Amino acid sequence: MHYTYLMLSFNKDHPLDQLSSELRLDLLEIIYQSGGGHIGGSLSSIDLMTSVYFSQIFDLKKDHFILSAGHLCTALYVVLAKAGYFSPKLLPSYSSFGSLLQGHVSAQVPGVEYSSGSLGQGLSFACGLALGDRDNKTICLTSDGEHQEGQIWEAVMFAKKYQLGNLINIVDFNGYQIDGAVKDIMPLNDLAAKYISFGWSVTTVDGHDFNQIFKALKKESVLYPHCIIAKTTLGKGISYMENNYNYHDVKNLSPDLYNQALVQLRSKL
């Protein structure tokens, strides 16, 4: 059984904690100024994207990152801007007419290989990249709710059949989707056991603990694609948003709620 389970104490002193806190502030700012965006999942997944881009585990001039859950684009935009793919001056244009930075990520954005919006399709695209470029890694970020889509499981079977040991699927498992809790809408039950039964190796981590994420990302395999199930918190860092599915998407956040969020996020710096 190819299964590793890591749940260590949260390390608040990791060097990337400071960067992650800064990126959460950037993310809040562009969503507030634009009038809306998918903030809950962006806050839950940003530590995962930060790990991919700033851990130095991957060479993203050669390796590939695919955001399957395209509505988490605000997290990716602030990460890409910080990583130097485009100027941070572009961030305020988010979701405005004619901007490259729309509400679902497009391959027109520097550093992006895949346009995503329809859920459940990105892992298939990632499988194709991994099959065609076996010398390098392909990392895909999916959501837990996305696993209610049948195409995900077709891709999971494909990856095992073609022994895509260079493929990593990170699941942002925050437990919520647009209409409520995943367990109430369409339960996934033991997602790790499902992946194992399909022939993948699996590691479960605290998706806000960089030490755990790094260890999982460094795991090497030749024959088995690797799934990292990252247990995260919807709306991480903003108390009134945490585990509240009403903040899957937010429109016209009030100045009072914005200021509350600002104070909480700044306190982490």
Interaxial angle between packed helices 210-217 and 39-54, expressed in degrees from 0 to 180 and rounded to the nearest 10: 60
**Structure tokens that stand for 60 in this block:** 């993203």
Alpha helices in the chain (DSSP H): 15-34, 39-54, 73-82, 122-132, 150-161, 182-185, 191-197, 210-217, 255-266
Q: What is the separation of C-alpha 212 from the centre of its chain, rounded to a whole number of angstroms? A: 15
The pTM is what? 0.93
Contact call for residues 147 and 171 (beta carbons, < 8 A): yes
Residue 221 φ/ψ, nearest 5 degrees = -150, 150
Residue 179 φ/ψ, nearest 5 degrees = -105, 0
Name 4's Cβ contacts closer than 8 Å, sequence gap at least 6.
Answer: 201, 202, 203, 204, 216, 219
Write down the domain spans for the chain.
3-266
The position carrying tokens 């892992």 is 123
Contact call for residues 33 and 92 (beta carbons, < 8 A): yes
Q: What is the DSSP secondary-structure string of 21-68?
A: HHHHHHHHHHHHHHTEE-HHHHHHHHHHHHHHHHSSSS-TTTSEEEES
From first to last of its 269 residues, the chain has per-residue pLDDT tens of 333 333 333 345 688 999 999 999 999 999 999 999 999 999 999 999 999 999 999 999 999 999 999 999 999 999 999 999 999 999 999 999 999 999 999 999 999 999 987 899 999 999 999 999 999 999 999 999 999 999 999 999 999 999 999 999 999 999 999 999 999 999 999 999 999 999 999 999 999 999 999 999 999 888 899 999 999 999 999 999 999 999 999 999 999 999 999 999 999 88
Q: Any idea which architecture 3-266 has in CATH?
A: 3-Layer(aba) Sandwich (3.40)
